[in-house]
Structure 1
Amino acid sequence: MSAEPQRELEVLHLGRVDYLTAHRLQQERLARRIAGEVPDGLLLLEHDEVVTLGRGESISAADRSALEARGVELIDVERGGEATWHGPGQLVAYPIIELREGERDLHRYLRTLEQVVIDVLAGLGIEGSRKDGLTGVWIDEQKVSSIGVAVRRWTTWHGVSLDVSNSLETFGAFHACGLEPGIMTRVVDRAQVPTDDPLLANAFARAFATRFGRRPVE
């Protein structure tokens, strides 16, 4: 029996997109992917400043007050995980892919997403790692990437953030992912980011396609 042909991965570079617009784009793409109208997709972008609240434990009243005092918008979303920050200088990747037979294991999916980030960091000479019992990617004792996903009819949405050159100031005002303020780090504090790929979007797309066995098209 011949192997299944490699699936296409449509890579969409969207630039700066506000969160609610990106959420709507995800929902539209998700519905079309489930219907078989479009191939697997990878949305790459950055957001205006926002804190999203996943299905994990609710954000504390103190954290909510601190963020609201800074004028940061808080939005409840469908993904797993807790509260996290998005903003300019941070790469956000939303894979909208159909998990095939053999891929339908959400723990495996999360670990593969982590490996994609680890691969991107390795390309810059940075050693990324996992921590037992936690989702995301770390450099030494600081977190550089957060992951929160949702799946509908074995089709993924929501995704990954990678702190590249963004400010870490707001991270210091609340317990992102339920962790202590100040736990986050950035790629630019560890290595020089290529000027032709300032958000590492191209590197992420290549690593994602390799790890998930897709053929990237733009």
Structure 2
Amino acid sequence: MATLPSTDPAARDAVPELCRIVRLGTVPYREAWDLQVEIADRVRRGLTPDTLLLLEHPHTYTRGRLSPDTHLASRGAEIVETDRGGLITYHGPGQLVAYPIVRLRGRGGPHWYVRTLEQVISNSLVEFGLATSTVDGLTGVWTADGRRKLAAIGVKIAGGVAYHGFAINVRADLSMFDAIIPCGIADRGVTSVAAELSGRAELLTVDTIADAVARHFCTAFGFKPTPDETGQ
């Protein structure tokens, strides 16, 4: 069972400037969802700092609140109905999943938040020499030509605290997307960082992308990171 490391009550006064970076390895989707809800409540009450969870999921298809009620061939993956925004997407090994659990009051609204997450993803991937773009009217981060999706975003905001987040296809099995219309977008493809940087793919891991994401996330939000449960 994934658990959040305990927080020193003395740190509560510094909550606005701290962000806890927690690396969880591979966690089942429902377990990570329950953990997010728990942390969101603690963040809302000022009992723990804003938090960034970094992890992978086993093969999972998730339906957002706007997903049509249609049959889905699971291909052996778990299917989960979620409370996040957006439509259906896939999570699985080789994909970095980032769940920021942050207070938005005094920072910006939902549109600002999603655009900021897109910038965090783009800035992170640029470190590896991958040019990216955003597409007007579509959420997420795409290849430079806007034809193939690299990262999907789906969030929920409750009581001024955002949770759920984004997923970057680092070395994901792209064939798993064949069973769905990812995020309801039928006229564009899905790709991975490794596929786009095939000549340097051996240098790419979920952990190396996670390092970049943690840095750029803290920079974008003005956070001071605190060590995760591994002491890194």
Give, in angstroms, the shift of residue 6 of structure 1.
Answer: 6.3
The structure 1 segments of at least 4 consecutive aligned residues displaced by more than 6 Å after TM superposition are none
Gaps of 5+ in 1: none
Identify the residue that residue 153 of structure 2 maps to in structure 1.
147
The 5 A counterparts of 1:1-218 are: 7-61=17-71, 64=72, 66-67=73-74, 70-101=75-106, 103-139=107-143, 140=145, 141-180=147-186, 183-191=189-197, 192=200, 194=203, 198=207, 200-218=209-227
Q: Quick check: 1:171–1:182 contact (8 Å CA) kept in 2?
A: no
Question: 2 CA distance for matches of 1:109 and 1:32?
Answer: 20
Q: TM-score, normalised by structure 2?
A: 0.85
Q: What is the number of residues matched between the two proteins?
A: 209
Give, in angstroms, the shift of residue 179 of structure 1.
Answer: 1.8
Give, in angstroms, the shift of residue 104 of structure 1.
Answer: 2.9
Q: Quick check: 1:7–1:215 contact (8 Å CA) kept in 2?
A: yes
How big is each residue's C-alpha offset from its partner over 1:130-180, in whole Å with a ceiling of 9 and x where there is no partner?
Answer: 011100000031001000000111111000000000101110121110023
Give, in angstroms, the shift of residue 60 of structure 1.
Answer: 3.0
Give, in angstroms, the shift of residue 72 of structure 1.
Answer: 2.1
How big is each residue's C-alpha offset from its partner over 1:39-92, in whole Å with a ceiling of 9 and x where there is no partner?
Answer: 01000000001011001131533xx1x23xx22221111110000000000000
Q: Give the secondary structure class of the aligned counterpart of 1:79.
A: coil
The code of the aligned residue for 1:128 comes to: T
Fraction of identical pairs, as percent: 40
Q: Give the secondary structure class of the aligned counterpart of 1:93.
A: strand
